[in-house]
Amino acid sequence: MKYYILAGEASGDLHGSNLIRALQKEDANANIRFWGGDLMQEAGGTLVKHYKERAFMGFTEVILNLGKIFKLISYCKSEIESFNPDVIVFIDNSGFNLRIAKWAKQAGFKTHYYISPQVWASRAGRVKAIKRDIDAMYVILPFVKPFYKKYGYEVHFVGHPLIDAINNRKQVGEFKFRAEHQLNDKPIIALLPGSRKQEITKMLSVMLSLVNEYPEYQFVIAGAPSQDYSFYETFINSQNVKFIANKTYDLLSISTAALVTSGTATLETALFKVPQVVCYKGSSISYHIAKRIITLKFISLVNLVMDRAVVTELIQNDFNKKHLKQELDLILDPKHRKKLFLDYYELEKTLGGKGASKKTAQLIYQSIKP
């Protein structure tokens, strides 16, 4: 069967790569073309467009790049028509994917969505369009299934693919990892400042402002696959700061604490049982627009899944050196860490266990096979 997969950003590339492998196990004759990244390319199939070519963050940047976005949409449609897949699988990335889905459904293609757009966070009115344009939806967060059910739309809860991604990774010993990356023997505070230049610029300078306050720890920046070291280098002004690219899971596996930009990384950090402070700061315009349309109590996936404040969130003006130091001191305290570990174990149970990619691939293949 022929599959056309549309993924964006590093997290979509990760989940897309595991889905490709699962589809290949279900369908020995799977012919896959995709928009994604390096991990999906390693898994198999043909890369059409890399996500780096369309990484636009926030309302302002999207508006400034509308011309380029419309050209990408047009090219994607012609690519799909030429390939004529048996199914199109959309992975997250709603701004781009929902536009393609509307056209694809009208054109007669089967449309499946893996990892729902965050309609539960804002603009719930989009559910009507999703019901119209998406034949099958596979959700990875437990509260999303009852959310859709309120609107009369039945979806599949398949569990969270991060559990598989973490459990299936090739593990590296701590001694070897420290030696390879020239890390000393101090306990590590990991810095996860995001993946896009705009958010890294806003997050990293504040995170690094704490370095001299904690000489007994080593700070290590987790570099995103979408950015080069030369970009990060401009922020580093201490010998107690190291940079490691594309090894976030290995880094988290040996970290004592982490400062994390809101997003998928908050869940990854929790699944590695690393105490964290969740941080977010956007442009003033984007923040005030988002504040008016987002209806959630929390921004981190950890707190959203647990429906309570498990990890501290420092948002916009609260994200500053003073507050960040207070919260880092707290997550380094043994009593607080013990409670946080118990919450993290409860979180993992709530996420539904292993097998998300396999379940999704089975459901997709069963629905399209002759």
- 28 has pLDDT over 90: yes
Give how far Cα 208 sits from Cα of 190, 219, 274, 298, Å.
11, 8, 19, 25
Q: How far is CA 167 from CA 250, 326, 329, in A?
A: 12, 33, 30
Q: Is the pLDDT assigned to residue 122 strictly greater than 70?
A: no
Residues 212 and 341 in one domain: yes
What's the domain count of the chain? 2
**One domain for residues 346 and 360:** no
In tens, the pLDDT along 197-246 reads 888 988 999 999 999 999 999 999 999 887 888 899 889 888 899 999 99
Stretch among 25-29, 88-92, 226-230, 300-304 having the lowest mean pLDDT: 226-230
Identify whether residues 90 and 222 lie together within a single domain. Answer: no
Q: Measured between alpha carbons, how far is 127 from 26 in angstroms, rounded to an integer? A: 30
Q: Are residues 226 and 90 in the same domain?
A: no
- One domain, residues 98 and 212: no
Judge residue 205's burial from the number of C-beta atoms within 10 Å of its C-beta, 0-12 exposed, 13-18 middle, 19 or more buried.
middle
Q: What is the pLDDT of residue 293?
A: 45
Q: What proportion of the chain, given as a percentage, has pLDDT over 90?
A: 69
Do 219 and 341 sit in the same domain of this protein? yes
Does residue 329 register a pLDDT over 90? yes
Residues 143 and 43 in one domain: yes
Q: Which domain holds residue 294?
A: 167-350
Using alpha carbons, select from 118, 117, 56 the residue that is nearest to residue 91.
117
Quick one: 7 and 108 in the same domain?
A: yes
Report the CATH number at residue 207.
3.40.50.2000
Q: 186 and 146 in one domain?
A: no
Residue with tokens 């467009």: 49
In angstroms, the first-to-last Cα distance of the chain is 9
Does residue 144 sit in the same domain as residue 181?
no
Q: Are residues 47 and 122 in the same domain?
A: yes
**215 and 150 part of one domain:** no
